[in-house]
């Protein structure tokens, strides 16, 4: 009698503990074919919790008709916990005690599996003969295995998403040389202030769409505060985004800090080739053009594969030899024919030009003097309308809209660039209007337009971090942004590096004065 009371007390305590943990208890009568695993899955509890609430309960003594206590968990298992339960699925669905006259065929039909599956699960069966009373394994059906795989994949995806950290507020540090200690604003400070102003306009636009942003600005100017002093500020480790600095000597310190604290770091202007080396959270906006030449060659080949291509060697000190050499090698690899001529022998170019098709001339230098000389030599030829000409050149050509603007139109000039501000675009006009309204001034008129650069950086990175959280880096290729001036297409140099912007625009001036950017 005492033993019975003690056993009852043990069961009651176990049940009470389960009730305290889960809040609800219920009973379940074991049905034929059910396993400890299947019951646990049915009630969304672990097998361990079932055993804890039913002392002595084991998988091998779970018989049909047995009544067990089920702690119904009010809480929801995390995807990781659910996946752990799915992964613990027993090797076989259940076992079967062979009855008189049963065969491999009849048992397989009973459980909806094939004879081959049943035999593979029971290698001890010889010659399709089953012995009465023997226990054999019953495998899962093809449909159950398929559902199991789908469930695993679903839970793996949910577990991955559950690990993504979302940011309620995007905390951003902007470190630029504002030169606040100077009595008058320097040209550099004016550009950096424009960049910051454009960034603030992006922040305002995003806030209007429900994005929460907190901005901290720091002066990088010499004599104001050192970069180490800025990085030691307690709030810096709480940032999700750091923009800047500009000084080459400071970039590495900030890149290291950002890496250590898992902060997205944007280098807006410096174009050193090694900036992102071993800095996996750093994004370089402005990269050396030599790193994107292959992109240029490829875009050119797509657009001009059927044209008459002529390289013009200008013979200037500024001739870009590596660019021209790589260009010709690429065209040869693509089986695109080309011709060459020296500017000093330009009178002989008529022998190279072809009527009726487009003739594309590629000068070796991007200077304004080389451009002017080439266009003047073309003018002197007084070609008839049967000769269609186009010049393909360098990013510097976007600065020629004053003195040489008529040549840009006349020869349908086309050039590659990493950035381009289209003053006639409605979005650019709207931005300029907002800029004037907010700051009572115009943007600095140089190239690039720093206000537009600041806007592009703010809009792209803050929206990306808000939308994707800590998975922003993995979703760069799933994320698109229509830029004002700087398009972004980030690529990693290698698995341990940061990201470099490899985006290239092709700008074409047409004779009617319109401009095509693509």
Q: Is 324 helix (H, G, I), strand (E, B) or coil?
A: helix
The pLDDT score that the predictor gives to residue 13 is 30
Radius of gyration of the chain (CA): 36
Q: Average of pLDDT values for 384-407?
A: 93
Using N-to-C axis directions, what is the helix angle for 450-468 and 426-439, rounded to 10°? Answer: 100
Give, in words, the CATH class of 94-162: alpha beta
Q: DSSP string of 201-265?
A: HHHHHHHHTT--EEEEEEE-STTT--HHHHHTSGGGGG-SEEE---SHHHHHHHHHHHHHTT-EE
- d(CA 335, CA 232) in angstroms, rounded, equals 57
Are 476 and 499 within 8 A, CB to CB? yes
Instruction: Please state which CATH number belongs to domain 293-417.
Output: 3.40.50.2300
Q: 2-75 adopts what CATH topology?
A: Membrane-bound Lytic Murein Transglycosylase D; Chain A (3.10.350)
Beta bridge partners of 282: 265
Does the pTM surpass 0.75? The reply is: no
- d(CA 292, CA 152) in angstroms, rounded, equals 42
Q: Average of pLDDT values for 56-64?
A: 80
Using CA atoms of 390, 392, 397, 402 in order, give the dihedral in degrees to the nearest 10: 0
Structure tokens at 289: 């053009």
Structure tokens at 448: 């690039």
The pLDDT score that the predictor gives to residue 76 is 53
- d(CA 438, CA 427) in angstroms, rounded, equals 16
Q: Is 26 helix (H, G, I), strand (E, B) or coil?
A: strand
The pLDDT score that the predictor gives to residue 394 is 97
Reply yes or no on whether the pLDDT at 515 is more than 80: yes
Q: How confident is the model at residue 455 (pLDDT cuts 50, 70, 90)?
A: very high
- d(CA 111, CA 42) in angstroms, rounded, equals 20
- Alpha carbon 258 to chain centroid distance? 18
* 302 membership: H or E segment, kind and range: helix 293-304
Q: Is the dihedral of CA 435, 438, 439, 440 positive or negative?
A: positive
Under DSSP, the state recorded for 290 is G
Structure tokens at 68: 């067990």
Provide the residue ranges of all domains of the chain, joining segments of one domain with +.
2-75, 94-162, 170-290, 293-417
Percentage of the chain beyond pLDDT 90 is 61
Other Cβ atoms within 10 Å of 183 Cβ, number: 5
pLDDT digits (tens, 9 = 90+) for 287-340: 999 999 999 999 999 999 999 999 999 998 889 999 999 999 999 999 999 999
**Common-topology check for domains 94-162 and 170-290:** no
The values of phi and psi at residue 451, to 5°, are: -65, -40
Q: Which of 32-41, 451-460, 482-491 has the lowest mean pLDDT?
A: 32-41
Reply yes or no on whether the pLDDT at 195 is more than 90: yes
Task: Looking at 382-441, list the stretches that DSSP marks H as alpha helix, in order from N- to C-terminal side.
Answer: 405-410, 426-439
Provide the mean pLDDT of the chain. 87
Task: Looking at 122-186, list the stretches that DSSP marks H as alpha helix, in order from N- to C-terminal side.
Answer: 142-162
pLDDT digits (tens, 9 = 90+) for 96-149: 999 988 999 999 999 999 999 999 999 888 777 888 888 899 999 999 889 888
* 172 membership: H or E segment, kind and range: strand 170-176
Q: How confident is the model at residue 5 (pLDDT cuts 50, 70, 90)?
A: very low
Give, in words, the CATH class of 170-290: alpha beta
Reply yes or no on whether the pLDDT at 391 is more than 90: yes
Q: How confident is the model at residue 424 (pLDDT cuts 50, 70, 90)?
A: confident
Between β-strands 67-71 and 25-29, what pairing exists: parallel, antiparallel or unpaired? Answer: antiparallel
- Burial of residue 453 (number of CB atoms within 10 Å: 0-12, 13-18, 19+): buried
Between β-strands 490-492 and 499-501, what pairing exists: parallel, antiparallel or unpaired? Answer: antiparallel
- d(CA 412, CA 391) in angstroms, rounded, equals 7
The values of phi and psi at residue 9, to 5°, are: -65, -40
Structure tokens at 218: 């720091």
- Burial of residue 328 (number of CB atoms within 10 Å: 0-12, 13-18, 19+): middle
Structure tokens at 248: 């080459």
């Amino acid at each position: 009698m005492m033993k019975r009371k003690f056993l009852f007390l043990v069961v009651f305590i176990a049940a009470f503990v389960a009730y305290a943990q889960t809040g609800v208890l219920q009973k379940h009568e074991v049905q034929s074919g059910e396993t400890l695993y299947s019951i646990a899955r049915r009630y969304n509890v672990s097998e361990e919790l079932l055993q804890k609430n039913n002392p002595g309960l084991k998988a091998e003594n779970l018989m049909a008709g047995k009544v067990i206590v089920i702690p119904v968990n009010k809480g929801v298992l995390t995807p990781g916990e659910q996946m752990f339960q799915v992964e613990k699925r027993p090797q076989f669905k259940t076992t079967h005690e062979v009855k008189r006259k049963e065969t491999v065929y009849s048992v397989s039909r009973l459980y909806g599996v094939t004879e081959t599956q049943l035999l593979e699960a029971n290698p001890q069966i010889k010659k399709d003969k089953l012995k009465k009373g023997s226990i054999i394994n019953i495998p899962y059906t093809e449909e159950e295995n398929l559902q199991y795989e789908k469930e695993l994949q679903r839970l793996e995806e949910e577990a991955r998403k559950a690990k993504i950290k979302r940011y309620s507020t995007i905390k951003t540090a902007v470190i630029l040389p504002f030169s606040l200690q100077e009595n008058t604003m320097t040209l550099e400070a004016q550009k950096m202030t424009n960049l910051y102003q454009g960034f603030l306009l992006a922040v305002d636009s995003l806030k209007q769409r429900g994005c929460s942003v907190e901005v901290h600005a720091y002066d990088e100017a010499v004599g104001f505060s050192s970069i180490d002093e800025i990085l030691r500020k307690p709030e810096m480790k709480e940032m999700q985004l750091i923009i800047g600095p500009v000084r080459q000597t400071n970039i590495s310190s900030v890149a290291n800090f950002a890496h250590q604290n898992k902060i997205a770091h944007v280098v807006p202007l410096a174009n050193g080739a090694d900036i992102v080396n071993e800095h996996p959270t750093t994004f370089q906006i402005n990269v050396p053009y030599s790193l994107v030449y292959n992109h240029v060659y490829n875009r050119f080949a797509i657009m001009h594969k059927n044209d008459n291509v002529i390289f013009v060697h200008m013979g200037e000190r500024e001739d870009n030899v590596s660019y021209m050499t790589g260009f010709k090698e690429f065209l040869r690899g693509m089986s695109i024919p080309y011709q060459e001529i020296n500017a000093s022998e330009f009178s002989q170019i008529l022998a190279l030009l072809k009527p009726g098709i487009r003739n594309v001339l590629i000068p070796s230098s991007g200077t304004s003097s080389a451009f002017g000389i080439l266009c003047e030599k073309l003018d002197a030829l007084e070609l008839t309308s049967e000769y269609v000409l186009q010049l393909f050149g360098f990013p510097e050509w976007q600065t020629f809209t004053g003195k040489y603007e008529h040549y840009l139109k006349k020869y349908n000039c086309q050039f590659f660039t990493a950035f381009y501000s289209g003053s006639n675009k409605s979005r650019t006009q709207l931005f300029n209007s907002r800029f004037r309204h907010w700051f009572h001034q115009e943007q600095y008129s140089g190239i690039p337009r720093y206000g537009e650069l600041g806007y592009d950086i703010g809009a792209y990175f803050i929206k990306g971090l808000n939308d994707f959280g800590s998975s922003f880096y993995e979703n760069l290729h799933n994320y698109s942004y229509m830029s004002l001036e700087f398009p972004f297409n980030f690529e990693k140099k290698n698995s341990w590096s940061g990201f470099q912007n490899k985006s290239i625009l092709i700008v074409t001036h047409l004779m009617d004065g319109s401009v095509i950017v693509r």
